[in-house]
Amino acid sequence: MKQQLSYQMGDGHIVNEGSQIPTNYDYFVFEDLEQSIITKNNSLDRHYDFVMSSLGNSYKGVNKYVYGNIISAIKTIVTCKKEHARRTEACKEAIAFLHQDMCMASNSIQKTLSLFGVKLSTRQILRDSEQVLSEKSPDWTNNLYGGLF
């Protein structure tokens, strides 16, 4: 899913967990988006462009490609919620990406999406995340656990 979602987002980078994701990432995402979107009155597209144009591989100490994928996932969710009555597959995959791959807590996802006037219940986040996880091929466990099981 990471590779597919990265391809859909158009950046061509594959997100690797571990050292690229700080432990306080939930707070960082919310704080940075709040500062950029609310305080500076930027759009998600403009903020994405700003993050990706930063020099090197980092933006404020985090991997800019990982953070760019997070911004793109948030944009996908916001667009889907505002344009479609029901969540699309792209929206479900974006929710699962934030929840599973980026290890964001459901309340952090809700708090971040509330900046854009989007409301998702904890039940919706968990249901969509679980649905995407159940549809993954069994090979993802080898990638995650290195084939220990």
Looking up tokens 């994928």, which residue turns up?
69
Q: Alpha-carbon distance 72 to 70, whole Å?
A: 5
Burial class (CB in 10 A: 0-12, 13-18, 19+), 115: middle
Cβ atoms of 26 and 72 within 8 Å: the answer is no
Q: Residue 123 pLDDT > 90, yes or no?
A: yes
pLDDT digit string, tens, across residues 68-96: 999 999 999 999 988 887 778 889 999 99
Domain boundaries, the chain: 2-137
The structure's pTM equals 0.74
Question: What pLDDT score was predicted for residue 88?
Answer: 82
